[in-house]
Every structure is written in structure tokens, then in C-alpha cells.
Structure 1
Amino acid sequence: MTAESNESKSRYLQYLELVLGPLEDKKRWRQYKARVKGLPENYRIAVEALERYLMHFGPADGAGAMAMYEDLADLFEQSAADGIPIRAVFGDDPIEFVETFMANYPLGQYRRRERDRFTSAVERAAGEDRTK
């Protein structure tokens, strides 16, 4: 390969990552999904339901979100291996469990920006504009 073809390949990968996101995150996501697929059925169902909730309400950033999903897989793999019942993992309130779980991870940039925008709008509407 020539130096020019290496440079072209590098630019091509940069373009792909710009459009699709970091390729390493895609690889990590596929590995996570394979781990979930390997769980016993009841644990897999629980993880997939939790994953859906996290997709809507969890951190949105790639690296932070990936760490969260990998930790989720760790938790359920270990729980399945130890024979811990699903209800014992979640407790009486699954929403409380997931909210506590999410609190351990950074808020995604999009959600942080929207929360800040919302808070500022309420402050302005209440006559408490603090940007002055």
C-alpha cells in the first residue's frame, strides 16, 4: 500500500465515524447485545425491557451510555450465575431501581443542554433571569 492509499483509508474511516459515530462504540454495542442474547430467557427479557427504558430516559452519549449498558450486562450475567431472582435484582419498584442505576452515569450532553434550557426558560418566565 502506498502512503496515499493509507491516507485515503484514514480519511474514509474519519468520514464514517463522523456520519455513523465511533466505530469502537458500534463494536462494543454488538458485544453487549451478544452478551444479552446469552442470558437465560427471563433475565434477557428483563434486560431488554430495561434497555428500552434507558434508550428513552437514560444518558445519550456514546461512551457513557456504553459503560452503563456493559455494567447492566455484568449485573445480569452475575445475577443469573448466582441464581438471584429477577425481583430481587429490581426490588419492589423497578422504576426506583432504574433511576438509581442511571444516577451512577453522567447525563448525556443533549439531555444536559435541554435541562439547562428548560430551567432557564422557567426562570425567565418567573422573572428570575440570572444571566444578567
Structure 2
Amino acid sequence: MDTGSNEPKSRYLQYLEVVTGPLEDKRRWRRYKARTKQLPESYRTAVEAMERYLMHFGPGDGADAASMYEDLADLFEQSAADGTPIREIFGEDPVEFVEAFAQNYSAGRWISRERERLTSAIERAAGEDTGEEERTV
């Protein structure tokens, strides 16, 4: 199904990507999962827990998410190779660590957009100037 870099995509592949998203993002996800499967059990368990959390609170779009998960695999592969203890990776507060990690990939974070949307809607409802007029001029 791979068309190569110079060959145009068939209509079928174009349609498939409209429905499912870019196929390259899916390939990157599969490579990430294969990499994490090779980790020692304790590291794999930590990655899976972090992955589960990031599925809810991480970047929403494919490219940001794929980059984040690849970096996550890099971090844990290097930590496993160095023998870094799990607690040393996460510190005392795992949520704080994951939130700081996810902040590096904020461009696609749906939760950030929703927070901004909520704040703006409340400001408008309260009759406060949100500065929207200045940006549209």
C-alpha cells in the first residue's frame, strides 16, 4: 500500500486518509508501540501508564502526538539502558512530571483550547472586554 515518496497517492489512499487520518501517523504509532514492547517490564508498565494519561490530556492531533510518543520511547529506552530507576524518572509526583512532559507538545492540546474557549465565553457573558476586537481589526 505504500506509494513511495515520489509517486502520487491513489484516490483510494486519499479517501482513506480523509477518513482515518494520515497513514504515516499510524505507521509512527506502530513503530512506537513496537519500541515500548521491547522495554523491560517495569519501564513498559510506566510507559503504558503515562501513555494512558496522555491519551486524555496530551496533544490532540496526530503529528504532535506522534512526536510526543516517539520522545517518550526515547526517554524510556535511554533510561532503561542507563539503569535509571523509575522513581528517579518521575520524581515524587508522577502527575507533575507527565504534565511538564506534555507541556512541550502544547500546539495540539485540545484541553488548552477548551480552557481558552471557556475563559473567553465567561468573559463575554460577564460583559468584559476580551481583546477579541483588537485582534480582528
TM-score, structure 1 length as denominator? 0.87
Measure the CA separation in 2 of the matches of 1:18 and 1:105: 24
Compute the displacement of 1:116 (Å): 2.8
What letter corresponds to residue 16 of structure 1 in structure 2? L
Measure the CA separation in 1 of the matches of 2:105 and 2:60: 10
Measure the CA separation in 2 of the matches of 1:91 and 1:109: 24
Residue 100 of structure 2 is aligned to residue 91 of structure 1 = no
Partner of 1:54 in structure 2?
54
SS of equivalent to 1:107: helix
Residue 112 of structure 2 is aligned to residue 128 of structure 1 = no
Extract unaligned runs of 5+ from structure 2.
Answer: 1-6
What letter corresponds to residue 93 of structure 1 in structure 2? D
Residue 34 of structure 2 is aligned to residue 34 of structure 1 = yes
Cα offsets for 1:56-108 (capped at 9, x unmatched) = 01111110111000000000000000000000000011011011101111331
TM-score, structure 2 length as denominator? 0.84
Measure the CA separation in 2 of the matches of 1:14 and 1:61: 18
Residues 1-132 of structure 1 mapped to structure 2, 5 A cutoff: 10-108=10-108, 110-130=110-130, 131-132=132-133
Extract unaligned runs of 5+ from structure 1.
Answer: 1-5
Measure the CA separation in 1 of the matches of 2:89 and 2:115: 30
The size of the alignment, in residue pairs, is 126
Question: Which deviates the most, 107-116 or 80-89?
Answer: 107-116
- Any runs of at least 4 consecutive aligned residues in structure 1 with deviations exceeding 4 A, and if so which? none
Q: Superposition RMSD on alpha carbons, in Å?
A: 1.8
What letter corresponds to residue 117 of structure 1 in structure 2? R
